[in-house]
Amino acid sequence: MAIAENRSLDAATNGKVFRNLSTSALYMHALRRGEGVLAEGGAIVVDTGEHTGRSPKDKFVVREPASEDRIWWGTVNQELDEEHYEGLRAKLLAHHAERDLYVVDAFAGADPAHRIALRVVTPYAYHALFARTMFITPTPEELRGFEPEAVVLHTPDLEADPAEDGTRSGTFVVLHPARLEVLIGGTFYAGEIKKSIFTLMNDRLPLEGVFPMHCSANVGEDGDVAIFFGLSGTGKTTLSADPQRQLIGDDEHGWGDAGVFNIEGGCYAKVIRLSPEAEPEIYETTRTFGTILENVVVDENGVLDLDDDIKTENTRAAYKLERISNALHTKMAGHPQNVVFLAADAFGIMPPIARLNPHQARYHFLSGFTSKLAGTEIGVVEPSPTFSPCFAGPFLPQHPAVYSRLLRDKLARHRPAVWLLNTGWTGGPYGEGHRMPIQATRALLHAALSGRLDDVEYRIDPVFGFEVPVHVPGVEDDLLDPRSTWRDPAAYDRKARELAAMFRENFERFVGVDEQVAAAGPLV
C-alpha cells in the first residue's frame, strides 16, 4: 500500500516532538501535565470529560474515486467530500503546529503478511500512551527506518465548525480510505483511536482475502481455537480471558489462510463493577503499572472504586495483552474449531446456549442481535435491543454481505461448530428478570469447547429453530428453557413473537441474500 503524501507534515510543530517514548516516560509526561492521576498499584486514571463513549453519529468517510464504489454509504458511513476533508486537515495541522506533539509508531495486525504500519500523532501524552498500549509495539530493528502506511492525526481539544467543515457537530472522526488516514477531534475518548484503525482494517483486509472480525479469541492446550463475536458489553473480554486457555486477543482479529491473528497488541475492557472472583485476570490489571483507567472513580489516596458509575457505566481499562498471565505472545493461532456469537438479550427470550447450522450461522451473523449496554455510546442509559450487522455495524466500511460471504467461505472450508450464547437476561426482560449467571455461562461454554455437547440430547427451539441442549451437567435444566424461567409463560410467548417479528423486519434490509439463509430465521 502506497504511503500517503506529506507525511512529514504529520509532526510539523513549533513545539517539541516526542517520538516513541517508553511507557514510563509517557506516564511521567501525563502526570506532570495533569492529564491523569496515579492509582494504588500503579495504574494511571484519566477523565475523558463529556465524551465517555464513542460518537457514531460523528463518524465520516471521505468520498473519493479510489474507494467510493465499495463503501457502504449511509448512516454508518456518512460521506464527507474531499474539499471539507482538506479544510479540516489543514485546521488540525495548524492546531498541531503550536503544540508539543507525541508520535507513536506501531503495527496493526500480528500476522506480518497482513499488517499495517501506523503512526499516531497527538498533543496528549495520555493518548500516546493509549496508542502504545493498544497497538503492537515494533522491535528496535523495526523502528529503524519505520515508514507509516496509515496515520491518525488526533487533536481532541479541536472542535470542528459544522457550517464550515461539513460535520454534524464539533466532534469528528474521519477516515480517508485511499490515504489510510484518520482525523479525530472534539472528543477525548481514546476508544475512537482504536476503533478508527479497526474500521480501516475492516476495509483493507477483505481486499486481501482476509476476514476481519469483531471478536475475541483464545486457544486450548490442544491447539483448538475459539472465537467470540459480540458487541461491547456482551462478554468478549470476560469469556475469552479463561485461565484454562491462552488468550489470543479480546476484541479485533483477522482470519486468513494461516488462521486467526490479533489486530491489536492490547485489551480495552469494561471494568464497571468488575469482580475479583468472577474476572480475576482483568481485575488484577486495574492494580497494575501500565494500565490506563478511563473515568474510574479514584479518591485522593489513589484508591479505586470500580463500582461507582457516577461518570459513566462505560468505565474502561486499557492494558497490554501480556498483562494477562496466559496470553499467547505470538497473538496468532490456527483455524477455529468453535465460533461463538454472543448476544446480551434484554428481552430474556434467547436460551443461554444454542447450536447453529451454517445457514443459521449466517442469518444470526448478518442480524447481529444484542442489546446496546449503558454508556457504550452517547445517549444509551439502559439496555436496548438492537441489530448490528456482523456484530460490528459501526465499524463496517463495506456492505455486510462482503463479510457474510467471507464467513460462509471460512465455515465451509474449516467446518467449526457454531454456537449462540446469550449473556443477557433470563426470567424476564430487563427490569423484571436478571442477568444470566456468569457461572452458568462459563459452564456451558466449557462444555461446548470441550466437545461435551456434541452428543447430548437437543430440542428444536420453537421460536428460532436452532438446537438447544436439554441437559448440561452443572447447569440447571430450567435455565436451558427460558420459557420455564418466566413467571407468566404466556407473557414469554408474546415477547417471543415480538422479538421474532423484530428479527424478520430487520432482515428485510438484506435483499438478495441466499434463500436458505433468509429462511433460517425465527419460525414464528
State the catalytic residues: 54, 195, 214, 232, 236-237, 251, 316
Q: Which amino acid is at 517?
A: V
DSSP states along 165-178: H--SSS-EEEEETT
Output the CA–CA distances (angstroms, integers) from residue 88 to 74, 210, 322, 427, 453, in the order listed. 21, 32, 37, 51, 55
3-state helix, strand, coil in the chain (%, to 5): 30, 25, 45
- CB 505: neighbour CB atoms within 10 A? 10
Query: Cα-flanking dihedrals φ and ψ of residue 76, to 5°?
Result: -75, -45
Query: Cα-flanking dihedrals φ and ψ of residue 372, to 5°?
Result: -65, 130
Spatial separation of the C-alpha atoms in residues 178 and 149, rounded to whole Å? 11
Q: Which amino acid is at 142?
A: E
- CB 483: neighbour CB atoms within 10 A? 18
User: What are 286's three cell numbers?
Assistant: 486495574
User: What are 355's three cell numbers?
Assistant: 447450536
Long-range CB pairs of 437-443, under 8 A, 24+ apart, other chains included = 437/479, 438/238, 438/278, 440/352, 440/475, 440/476, 440/479, 441/235, 441/239, 441/352, 442/239, 442/242, 443/472, 443/474, 443/475
What is the enclosing helix (H) or strand (E) of 269? strand 266-270
Spatial separation of the C-alpha atoms in residues 494 and 492, rounded to whole Å? 5
Spatial separation of the C-alpha atoms in residues 13 and 210, rounded to whole Å? 38
Output the CA–CA distances (angstroms, integers) from residue 508 to 356, 387, 513, in the order listed. 21, 12, 10
Grouping H, G, I as helix, E, B as strand and the rest as coil, residue 387 is: strand
User: What are 517's three cell numbers?
Assistant: 439463509
